Amino acid sequence: MSRMWPWLRVLVAVVILVVLVWRLGTGAFVDGFRLVDGPAVLAALAIGLLTTVFGVWRWRLLARRLGLPLPVLTAVADYYRALFLNAVLPAGVLGDAHRALRHGRSAGDVGRGVRAVVLERTAGQVVLIGAGVIALLIEPSLAATMAHAVLPGLGITIVLLGGLAAAAALAAWAWRRRDVPRWRRAVSAAVADARRGLLARDAWPGVLGLSALVLLGYVAMFVVAARTAGSAAPVGRLLPLALLALLVMALPVNVGGFGPREAFSALAFGAVGLGAQQGLTTAVVYGVLAFVASLPGAVVLLLRRGTRPAGHALPAEDREIVAERPDQAVENGLSLARRSQ
């Protein structure tokens, strides 16, 4: 099942994109790439820098709460690299997995390093879900649109994740029977770190505020994409569309980020009278700008490879994450985490 998942998620995304091309034509897709200009690229890089800084701040806040050192420049470089790897590798989270393992190893506590990144990502998703609920309250007519765009991919995702969860539960049951104390220690450590890093009174306001700032940056990027695509709709009208499009992007069914986001944007823009083709073009422009914003991560990869002494190979985690085949991406990322425990 784990070997099939990367290919199935790509297949679902491709089917979504093919249906969109069949219904709306190729013009909206082509426009999404053609309309991206210099000012839009500069805006994407600037917004990407701000969201990265706020994300790094959130990560460092949680890491310090867990007792892990995290230098600012190292954190910024690792965060950018994670964004780039998330954009170009299957699964969309392997960059964060690499970031967690690298930080954990450098700090001498891989488990806690992984938990710091998991908490950081969780905080962002919680704020995004909350904002998405508010967006549905603002525009209740979009609920049906979101269901049409999300349910096909969500259904497949639930079935596949259910199978993976069952396999994981069976493995956990076998592991627990073999090593109950270790299993209990792992769960206890995760709960304790969540309380210390995310749920403490003096921690969650800062994490919540930084997550809101990161989300605001993503919304600003969507507005830039809409303007680049030619939309003159007021920002207030674009806001719920942006929040729900970002929420749809969390589905692990896409090709380089493309798929459900484009389907939802086309349907949602059409539902509110802004035009389905306008929505599709906006989503494509957003995908291009998001990739542009992650490109400093490619520079980080090149610089770190260039500064490695001659004759020294890449570390094992770099080789496995950067040079893996698509069908092995998720499996290799998980195996790295297991070997680091």
Where do the structural domains in the chain lie, given as residue ranges? 4-16+77-164+207-339
How confident is the model over 315-329, as pLDDT tens digits? 554 544 444 444 444
Other CB atoms closer than 10 Å to residue 337's CB: what's the count?
17
* CA distance readout (Å), 84 to 41, 99, 128, 239: 16, 11, 21, 26
What confidence score (pLDDT) does residue 145 get?
A: 66
Phi, psi dihedrals of residue 26, rounded to the nearest 5°: -85, -10
How confident is the model over 77-129, as pLDDT tens digits? 999 999 999 888 766 778 898 999 999 999 888 888 999 999 999 999 999 99
Task: Please enumerate in sequence order all residues whose Cβ is within 8 A of that of 268, keeping only pairs 6 or more positions apart, or say none.
Answer: 142, 145, 146, 149, 241, 244, 245, 279
Q: Which residue has the tokens 């091309």?
A: 21
Burial of 216 (0-12, 13-18, 19+ CB in 10 A): middle
What confidence score (pLDDT) does residue 293 get?
A: 96
Residue 69 scores a pLDDT above 50: yes
* CA distance readout (Å), 129 to 125, 225, 245, 249, 267: 6, 22, 11, 12, 20
Out of 31-40, 111-120, 258-267, pick the least confident.
258-267
Read off the pTM: 0.79
Q: Strand ranges (DSSP E) for the chain?
A: none
Other CB atoms closer than 10 Å to residue 308's CB: what's the count?
13
* CB-based contact 180:290 (threshold 8 Å): no
